[in-house]
Amino acid sequence: MNTRLVALCHALRRPQIAFGAIISLFWFLVVMTVNLWAPYKAYEQTGVRLSPPSLHHLFGTDVLGRDVFSRVMYGSRQSIPIAVVVIVFAVLVGSVIGGIAGYTGGRLDSFIMRITDVFISFPALLFAMVIAASLGRGSRSTMIAVSVTWWPFYARLVRGQVMSIRNREHIEAAVSIGAGTSRILRKHVLPLTMTPVMVNATSDFGFVVLVVSSLSFLGLGAKPPTPEWGTMVAEGSQNFYQWWLALTPGLAIVTIILGFNFLGDGVRDELDKRSATK
């Protein structure tokens, strides 16, 4: 049997990883298939306003008579794809910038890290709010705002990893045969940093969803009537006695955070365990 498949099966035996993987897989399946099985369309009005949860409407209905369960499921198609784009952008940009800074060192390293420190010095949510407000309300603005605030963390992570491995023998051998800096980074340095980066990205995913939802809650995300979790929580908070309007999208956010946190922490523990046995 393939070694990687064996390692995957062994990792999934850990309850922490299995629990996180199940939740994560569930939400990604929802994103891809919700239009095939959702009881109602995202904007469809059922004619029953503010109905509490029941067999006909699992999460009740909102002030316009829309099925909240369907809207929560459709809401995953807003928050999760944005989080995927943000994480991919942050990993790619942060890895390149951090790799260059850590490998070259000197003044270039200092210059890049000072810029990175400027970005990190601002709270991520506050910085994202400023950018989103300047770009105007919408999902694209949210995506850009969170992406700009997230890459510095990966730049610093990768820089530290690169500085710890840049003097290894195989890298010095590549330098001795005349390999260029770009090739050394792509072929010999950055691949060795991907394990901690991927673990960190997995743990970050849920928090990116939280930041995206927070921007929508503050009125800086997707425009109504688009089903988006943060917007739904904001609308539900105005109807105190209809508790299901805010609770159900809030629970969706919580499950995303818990699932990816369990998955990231479990993978990290598994990797640490293997490193200790080598």
What are the sequence ranges of the domains in the chain?
20-33+55-273
Judging by beta carbons within 10 Å of its beta carbon (0-12, 13-18, 19+), is residue 55 exposed, middle or buried? exposed
Q: What is the pLDDT of residue 170?
A: 75
> pLDDT by residue (tens digit) across 5-55?
445 555 567 778 888 889 999 999 999 999 999 999 999 998 889 999 998
Tokens of 135: 């770009």
pLDDT at 7: 53
* φ and ψ at residue 67, rounded to 5 degrees: -70, 115
Which has the closest alpha carbon to 159: 228, 113, 120, 125? Answer: 113
pLDDT tens digits for 114-125? Answer: 999 999 988 888
Between CA 252 and CA 256 the distance in angstroms is 6
Q: Is 243 helix (H, G, I), strand (E, B) or coil?
A: coil
Hey, which residues does 67 pair with through a beta bridge? 61
How many Cβ atoms from other residues are within 10 Å of residue 254's Cβ? 12
The count of C-alpha atoms lying within 13 angstroms of the C-alpha of 253, restricted to the half-sphere facing its C-beta, is: 23
In this structure, what are the phi and psi dihedrals at residue 61, rounded to the nearest 5 degrees?
-125, 160
pLDDT score, position 232: 93
Give Cβ neighbours of residue 242 (< 8 Å, ≥ 6 apart). 50, 52, 60, 62, 63, 236
Instruction: Give residue 27's pLDDT.
Output: 95
Residues 66, 51: Cα–Cα separation, whole Å: 10
Domain 20-33+55-273: give its CATH superfamily.
MetI-like (1.10.3720.10)
| Cβ neighbours around 245 below 10 Å, total | 26
User: Residue 273 has what pLDDT?
Assistant: 62
Across the chain, which has 278 residues, the per-10-residue mean pLDDT values are 52 76 93 94 90 92 93 94 95 92 88 91 90 90 94 93 82 74 78 86 92 92 88 87 92 94 81 55
